A and B are shown apart, each in its own frame.
Chain A
C-alpha cells in the first residue's frame, strides 16, 4: 500500500493540516493520507490507534488466545522451580530453586528417556530425513503430469490419518496375527510380533513415520525442484551429464537451502520425537525401550503427580531445543547459507 499511497498528492504536503483526521465522511481518502505520512510525520499514538481500530479489533481474539494458551503456560513453567502443590497453586507453592533439576538429573528413568529420545532422533535423522528428498526426486522424474499428480495424491494421503489409525493399520499387518506376519510365518520366516518387539521398536516407529509423512515432507522439496532453471539441466545434458550427474550437480545443489533449513528445524526438534505415536505403543513394547522425554513428562507429571520435576524436564527440553536451533542457524550463516531466518 505504501508505494501506491506515497505517490498521492497529499503526501507531498510537508505538514498535513491537523484536522486532517477529523470526522471525514465516507468517500474521503483520509486513512490513505494518514498512512502515507505516518512514516515522515509520526502521528500521536491515540490518533493512530483510532485509525487502525478495526484492524486491531480483529486481532484481539487471536492475540488473547495466544496470551492465555501460550504465554501464560510459558510463564507457568515457573513451577519447575517450585515444590508445586496443586491445592496451593503456583502463587502459594514454595520456591525451591534448582532442587527439581538436581533431583531430575539423579533420576535413572530420566536418563533412559533422554537416551531413547536421542537414539530415536539419530535413527530418524539417518533414515527418515532423506526419505522425502528421495521421494521428491522420484516424483520429479515422472514426466507425465497425470501420473505425477496421481502419485502425489497417493503419497500425501497418509499424512491426514491420525496416529491411532496408522498404528492400528500397522497392527493389522505386522501384529502377532497380522497378515504380513502370517504370510512370513507360512513361508518359514519367523519374525514374531513386530509390534511388541522392543529391540526393533526404533525401526518400527521410523517406518511408520516414513509411511505417514514422507510424502507430505516431499512437497517442499518438489517445489524447490520446480524452481530450478531448466536451462541448467539442458546445458548439463549438452555437456554430457547423464541423469545421475544432473541430479548430483544440478538438482541437489538447487534444493540445498531447503535441505539445510529443514535440517536446522530438525535439529531444534531433536528432543521431541513422535509423542502421540510413541505414547500409543508404549504399553506394547514397555517403557524401557519407548520412554522418551515427552512421555516421561506426561507420566511423571500428569499421571504420577510429580509436577515440579516433570515441568523441569519439559522446560529443560524446551530450552535445549531453542539453543540448538539458534546454534544450528548460526552455523548455517557462517557456512554462507540462509538458514531459517535472516539476521
Chain B
C-alpha cells in the first residue's frame, strides 16, 4: 500500500453516524489522544483489580520469583481462598458483613420508603415541618462524640445494632425516593382513591411496583454503605467476633498483621500476600457482582436527588 492511498483512506474515514453535520471530523492527533486517554483510564481502573486478583490466585513460588506480585498467574490456585474461607477469622467477619448488609439494607429500605412516601403527598398535615426536619440533617453533623454517647446510652456498644443504626437512614436517599414518588402521575392516585384504596394500599399496589428502579438504586447505596463501612466498627465494636470484613481487611492489608495459622485452623499457610489479596478480593466481589445490573439505574437516581433536592 502506498503512502498516498493510505492518506486517502484516512481522509475518507467513515464519518460517525452520530456526528452532527456541523461538527468537524477530528484530526488524527485528536483521535489518537482520545484513544490514549480511554486506554489510560481503563488501565488505571483495571490494573489494581487484576493485580490483586492475580496475586491472590498465584502460588507461593511464583510470587517469590516475581517480587511478591503476579498479574497473570501461570497456574492459578484457589488455595488462599480455601484457607481464609475455612472457618477462621475472615470467614466469621465475612458472615458478619453479609448479615449486617442484608438486615441493614432491608431495614433502611423499609424506613426510607415509608418516610419518603409519607412526605410525598402534597398538603399532608405537618408535612412541611417534617420535611424540614429531614432536610435539616444536610446542614450540620452532630459530631463523632455526641454520636458515640448516644450509641453508648442506648446500650448498642459492641452489638450488631451499632453497625446498622448510624447509617440506617440517609436524608439524600429519602429526597431521591420522594422525588421519584412525586413523579408518579397523580391520575393513578386519584383513580385508586375513587376505587376506595387507602394510602397504604396505594403505596403497596401502585407506587411500589412502579418504583422498582429507584428502590434498586437506593438499596444499592445503602448496601454499599453497610458493606464498606469500617469506622462504625472501629468506634463501637470491641468484640473480635463481631468485626466486619473491612476491619479484618484493614488489619491484614494495611496494618500488616500476620495470618495466624491457628486462628485460621490450618497447619501450613499459603503466601501471606496471596491471602491478604484474597481477603481484599472477597471485600470487592459482592460489589462487582451487583454493579453491572444496577448501573443502568443509578445515574437516574443520583440526578433526581441532585436536581429536585
Contact = CB atoms under 8 A, between A and B. Distances in A.
Contact of A59 (B114, B139, B302): B114
Given A52-B124, A59-B130, A276-B230, A315 B143 contact: yes
B139 A73 contact: no
A54 B284 CA distance: 41
Nearest to B168: A65
B253 A171 contact: yes
B235 interface: yes
Contact of A143 (B16, B55, B166, B171): B16
B112 A62 contact: yes
Interface in B162-183: 165-166, 168-169, 171, 174
B51 to A, nearest CB: 6
B219 to A, nearest CB: 13
Contacts of A283: 255
B4 interface: no
A331 interface: no
A29 to B, nearest CB: 6
A169 B143 CA distance: 30
Interface residues of A, number: 108
Contacts of B34: 138, 141-142
B95 interface: no
Interface in B27-44: 34, 37-38, 41-42, 44
A307 interface: yes
B265 to A, nearest CB: 24
B198 interface: yes
A164 B139 contact: no
Interface string B106-142: 0000111011011101111111001001101101111
B20 A55 contact: no
Interface in A275-301: 275-276, 279-281, 283, 294, 297-298, 301
A56 interface: yes
Contacts of B38: 147, 151
B115 A59 contact: yes
A149 to B, nearest CB: 9
Contact of B20 (A5, A163, A234, A276): A234
Interface string A142-178: 1111010001111111101111110111111100011
A143 B283 contact: no
Interface centre among B112, B193, B198 (most CB of A within 10 A): B193
B78 interface: no
A223 interface: yes
A83 to B, nearest CB: 14
Interface in A251-265: none
Interface string B192-212: 011110111001000000000
A17 B223 CA distance: 51
A70 interface: yes
Nearest to B247: A164
Given A157-B291, A162-B246, A56 B118 contact: yes
Nearest to A59: B118
Interface string A242-253: 110000000000
B227 interface: yes
Majority DSSP secondary structure for residues of B touching A: helix
Contacts of B149: 73, 76, 79, 90
A11 B118 CA distance: 24
B133 A160 contact: no
A69 B41 contact: no
B278 to A, nearest CB: 12
A8 to B, nearest CB: 9
A325 B24 CA distance: 43
B19 interface: yes
A153 B307 CA distance: 22
A154 B19 CA distance: 23
Given A69-B168, A73-B150, A1 B19 contact: no
B280 A220 contact: no
Contacts of A29: 193-194
Contact of A27 (B146, B196, B295): B196
A203 interface: no
Interface in A26-69: 26-29, 31-32, 35, 38-39, 45, 48-49, 51-52, 54-59, 61-63, 65-69
A162 B146 contact: no
B230 A54 contact: no
Given A62-B112, A211-B44, A275-B231, A311 B143 contact: yes
Interface of A: 1-5, 25-29, 31-32, 35, 38-39, 45, 48-49, 51-52, 54-59, 61-63, 65-74, 76-77, 79, 90, 138, 141-145, 147, 151-158, 160-165, 167-173, 177-179, 182, 211, 219-220, 223, 230, 233-234, 237-238, 242-243, 272, 275-276, 279-281, 283, 294, 297-298, 301-302, 307, 310-311, 314-315, 317-318, 321-322, 325
26 contacts: A1-B121, A1-B122, A3-B186, A4-B186, A4-B190, A26-B196, A31-B193, A52-B125, A58-B118, A69-B147, A74-B146, A143-B18, A154-B41, A154-B42, A155-B45, A160-B287, A161-B287, A162-B246, A177-B67, A223-B303, A230-B20, A272-B141, A281-B254, A283-B255, A314-B145, A318-B141
Given A54-B199, A173-B51, A317-B143, 16 more contacts: A29-B193, A35-B123, A49-B125, A65-B168, A66-B133, A67-B133, A69-B147, A76-B145, A147-B38, A151-B38, A160-B224, A165-B283, A233-B22, A243-B26, A276-B230, A298-B235
